[in-house]
Structure 1
Amino acid sequence: MTGNGETLLQPGRLWWNWFGEQYFVPQYVAKPRTEEDVRQIVLAARRLGISIRASGAGHSNPAIVPTPGIHVDFDEFRDIVSFDHDTLRVVVRPGIRVGDLSRALKEQGMSLNNQGDIDTQSIAGAIVTATHGAGITLPCLSAQMIAARIVTADGNILELSAEKDGELFKAFRTSLGMFGLIVSITIQAVLSYNIHKRSWNTDTEDCLESLHELLRDNRTFWFFWLPLKESADLYELPSGAVSSKATRENDICHMRVYNAAPVADPPPTVGPGEQFGHSSAIYPNVYLPNFREVEYAVPFASFEQTFDELRALFKTKYPEALYPIECRAVKADDSYLSAYSERDGYALSVSGPMEESSWGLLRDVDAVFERHDGRPHWGKHHFMSPSRMEKLFPRYDDFKRLRREIDPDGVFLNDHLRALFT
C-alpha cells in the first residue's frame, strides 16, 4: 500500500535472477505501486543510511541487482500510463515486460521500432543495459527511450529528456540504474508493421561470403554459428523445419532475415522456415535459461576477423563446445556506455553450460574480444576493469563524473558497480 517509506519496507527475502547465478537476501524488500511509493522508499533508505538496487525481470547475468540494503522489486509497477497516437509515443512504468508492451502497442496500431529475440525482460532493464535486436539501420533499445522520470538519491523527481537534457540524457540511457529509480519511461514507437521472417541453414563459408549483401538487403539479418550437429537443439533452433543449403552437419550457420510489411498488406504464402505476423509475435523466441553467456560488440569492420578467431578457438581448443555463437549487427547510438556508443557494432554472443568449466571457455573468448576492442553487453557476463573501460569508452570519465553529481553518496551502487564506476 502507499505510505511512508518504513511501512513500504518488508523483511528481505531470497531473490535470484533468471539464470539462478545471482542470488542474495537484502535487509529489506519493497514493491512500489506508485511514484510516491518509490520516492518514500528512497527517503527511507537515506534515513537508514543504506543502499538501493532495483530489479525488473532479473534477466541480467552479472551481479547488477544484489545489495545489502533495499531491494526494490518493480514487478507490481508495470502498467501503461498513456498512448499518444499523434506522436506515436507511449509512457510506461519500469516493470512492464517488453513483450507485454509490444503486444499492447499492436492494439493501438503501433510497434516497437526493433526488439531482440527475448521479450520477457522488463523494459527498464532492457533499456539501461542497452539490450538490442539487429539491423545495420537499427540501434539498440536505449535509443527508443526519449524521456524518463526518475527518483534521485535526495528523493526528488527528476524529469529527463533527449530534447532538453543533452549530455546528461546520453549518460542516463545506459546507466544500469545508477542515476536513480525509474518511475516512468517515454518510448518512441512507430506505426504498426508485420514481419516476414525466413530461416535456413547454410555452410559457414556461404554465410560469410554473402554477409554484407544480406545485411544491406534486409531490414534485419542475423545468424547463429552451429559448431556441432547438436548445437541447434540447445537454443531450440528449427533445424529440421527449415530449408538447408549446407553440405555438412556441423560448422554451419542458421540464418534469419526479417523484413517489414504494412499491416494492411495481404499475408504472403509461407513455406518451410518462414513466419509472417505482427512484429510483437515474430521477433521473440523461447529460450531455456540453461546457459552462461558473454556478449561483446566489436567495431563493424572487425567482425569477420573476430568471428574467424572464435571459430578457430572452438575447433582447436574446445571441439566439444556445443552452444551456438549468435551474431548481430547494430547501428551506432549516442549513449555514453552503450556497446554501440558512437560506432556501428557487430555483437557476438558466446555461451557455455551452467558449469564451472564454462569459465575457461568464456575467459578465452573474452581475450579474443579484448584484442578487437569488444565492448560488453551490460546484461551479460563480462570481465571489465577500469583500465579496459577507459580504453573502450571515450565518455567513461564523463559518465563517472555525472554519476557522482547525481548520486554523490553512492546510494544506487553495489559492489559490482562500485568497482567500475566510482
Structure 2
Amino acid sequence: MRDDLLQPGRLWWNWFGEQYFVPRYVAKPRTEEDVQDIVRAARRMDLPIRASGAGHSNPAVVPTPGIHVDFDDFRDVISVDPDLLRVVVRPGIRVGDLSRFLRTRGMSLNNQGDIDTQTIAGAIMTATHGAGITLPCFSAQMIAARMVIADGSILDLSAETDGELFKAFRTSLGMFGLIVSITLQAVPSYNIRKTSWNADTEDCLTSLHDLLRDNRTFWFFWLPHKDSADLFELPATVPSRTTRDNDICHMRAYNAVPASTPAPALNAGEVFDHSSVIYPNVYMPNFREVEYAVPFARFEETFDALRQLFRSTYPEALFPIECRPVKADDSYLSAYSERDGYALSVSGPLEESTWPMLRDVDAIFDRYDGRPHWGKHHFMSQARMEKLFPRYDTFKALRREIDPDGIFLNDHLRALFV
C-alpha cells in the first residue's frame, strides 16, 4: 500500500453544508490497486468504509467513523468505443465533464439531470434523472461496472451477464462495494432546441399530456409566487401567457436533432446548443429538498394536494416545486422500478422551520405511494420500503451476500437495509 494512501481524517461536508463528519482516515485513490488496498486495510482494522463523489446528496449517505474514500483524484476516461458508442470511466468523473468529453467524440449522454457537477457514480447509485416519458433515469445508461467488494477482490458486473444482481447494484448507494470503473451506453451526438415560457397553472395542467407526448422532454416548475423563479435562478425574460403573478408555471420543452443540424432561427424564449450545454442549470445550495416519484397516473392528484397545502397552510413559502416525468426501469431500488413515475421536488430554506413543512409534504407523498430520490432528504422506514419496493427483501439478501459484515454501511443505511 502507498505510504500516503491513508491520511488522518479531516472535516468533510456536503454541497448543502447539512452533512459533515470527521472519519478516522481519509483516502484518495488513483488506481484500482489503491482501492483494493483501502478495503483490505479496513478489514485488518475492522473499520467501515464510505465513499463520496461531489457531495450532492442531502441525506447522511457518506458519513462514517471509519475510512472515507474520496474519489476526486479518480476521474479519468479509460476508453471509448466509437462503433458501439460506449465509454468506460472512473467513478469520480463529473457528469458535465463526461458530457463535454463525449461531444468531442461525436457522442452524447442519452439524458441527464439539470445539475451536471455530480459524479457519474453518485448520479447512478442514487438513480438521479432527467425528464421525459420515454427516458429512464441515469442509472439505466450504465451497462457494466467493476468494483472492489468486501474481501478486497475485484467483481465485474454487466447487464448482459449478471441479471438480477446487476439490477440490484444499479441503485445500491455504494452498499455493494467501491466502484473502480463504469461502462456507459452513449448515443450519437445531438443538439437541443429548448423552449421556455410561463403559463397559468390551469393551462399547464390542461395541456400537460399533449406537451409530454409532443416533446422529447417536458417539465415544469410550479411557482407559488412570481419571485419564486429567482430562488432557482430561472430566466426572467421568457414569453409569458400568465394572467397573474402567483400560482403560475415555468414551462420547458426540449427537442433533439443530430449535432450536424444547423442552428435554426430562434424565437423568444428559445436556445439551441449541444446537449452538454443545454441540460445543466446553475443552482445555489440555498435550499433543503425532498423529492418523491409517484406513479405516473397519480401525478395530477398528488400535485393538486401539494398545491392546496401550500396555498392554504404555507402561503408564504417561495421555493418552486419541480415536476418531471421519468420512464420505468428495472433497477430494484430506483424510484421508477417497474413503473413510470412523475417526480415532484419540494424545497424550503436551510432553516429549522422547513422541517415541519417537509413532513407535511412527505405525508402527501406517502398517501400517493411516492418513492424517494435517494440523493434527497426522505423519511423512509423499513415498513414503507416493504410497501413501495417489490424487490426490497431480495435487495437486502443480495446486499448481505455481497457484504456479509456490512463494511460498506453507515448508520443512515443500516436503519433501512439490515
Q: 2:143 aligns with which of 116, 127, 146?
A: 146
Q: 2:167 aligns with which of 165, 170, 190?
A: 170
Partner of 1:329: 325
Query: How many angstroms apart in 1 are the aligned matches of 2:266 and 2:323?
Result: 25
Q: 2:233 aligns with which of 222, 231, 236?
A: 236
* Contact 1:196–1:274 (Cα < 8 Å) also in 2: yes
1:75-120 deviation digits (Å, cap 9, x = unpaired): 0000000000010000000000000000000000000000010000
Equivalenced residue count is 418
Partner of 1:204: 201
Query: How many angstroms apart in 2 are the aligned matches of 1:95 and 1:102?
Result: 14
User: Is 1:316 matched up with 2:312?
Assistant: yes
Secondary structure of residue in 2 paired with 1:257: strand
Query: How many angstroms apart in 2 are the aligned matches of 1:132 and 1:378?
Result: 11
1:187-219 deviation digits (Å, cap 9, x = unpaired): 000000000000000000000000000000000
The residue identity in structure 1 corresponding to 2:247 is: D
User: Is 1:27 matched up with 2:28?
Assistant: no
* Contact 1:133–1:330 (Cα < 8 Å) also in 2: yes
Q: CA deviation at 1:272?
A: 2.2
User: Is 1:49 matched up with 2:56?
Assistant: no
User: Is 1:65 matched up with 2:84?
Assistant: no
Query: How many angstroms apart in 1 are the aligned matches of 2:335 and 2:302?
Result: 16
Partner of 2:415: 419
The residue identity in structure 2 corresponding to 1:270 is: L
TM-score (norm 2): 0.99
Partner of 2:345: 349
Percent of paired sites with the same residue: 80
Query: How many angstroms apart in 1 are the aligned matches of 2:108 and 2:4?
Result: 39
- Gaps in structure 2 of 5+ consecutive residues: none
Q: CA deviation at 1:157?
A: 0.3
Secondary structure of residue in 1 paired with 2:160: helix
Q: CA deviation at 1:264?
A: 1.3
* Contact 1:238–1:273 (Cα < 8 Å) also in 2: no
Once structures 1 and 2 are overlaid, which stretch shifts more, 241-250 or 270-279? 270-279
Partner of 1:259: 255
The residue identity in structure 2 corresponding to 1:29 is: V
RMSD of the alignment, in Å? 0.6
User: Is 1:338 matched up with 2:319?
Assistant: no
User: Is 1:290 matched up with 2:283?
Assistant: no
TM-score (norm 1): 0.99
The residue identity in structure 2 corresponding to 1:420 is: L
Partner of 1:306: 302
1:349-399 deviation digits (Å, cap 9, x = unpaired): 000000000001100000000000000000000000000000000000000
* Contact 1:134–1:221 (Cα < 8 Å) also in 2: yes
Secondary structure of residue in 1 paired with 2:115: coil
Query: How many angstroms apart in 1 are the aligned matches of 2:356 and 2:314?
Result: 10
Query: How many angstroms apart in 2 are the aligned matches of 1:237 and 1:392?
Result: 33
The residue identity in structure 2 corresponding to 1:392 is: L
User: Is 1:10 matched up with 2:1?
Assistant: no
Secondary structure of residue in 1 paired with 2:292: strand
> Which portions of structure 1, spanning 4 or more consecutive aligned residues, are displaced by more than 4 angstroms?
none
The residue identity in structure 2 corresponding to 1:95 is: G
The residue identity in structure 2 corresponding to 1:153 is: A
The residue identity in structure 1 corresponding to 2:314 is: Y
* Contact 1:197–1:275 (Cα < 8 Å) also in 2: yes
User: Is 1:390 matched up with 2:382?
Assistant: no
Query: How many angstroms apart in 2 are the aligned matches of 1:118 and 1:338?
Result: 19
Secondary structure of residue in 2 paired with 1:326: strand
Partner of 2:82: 85
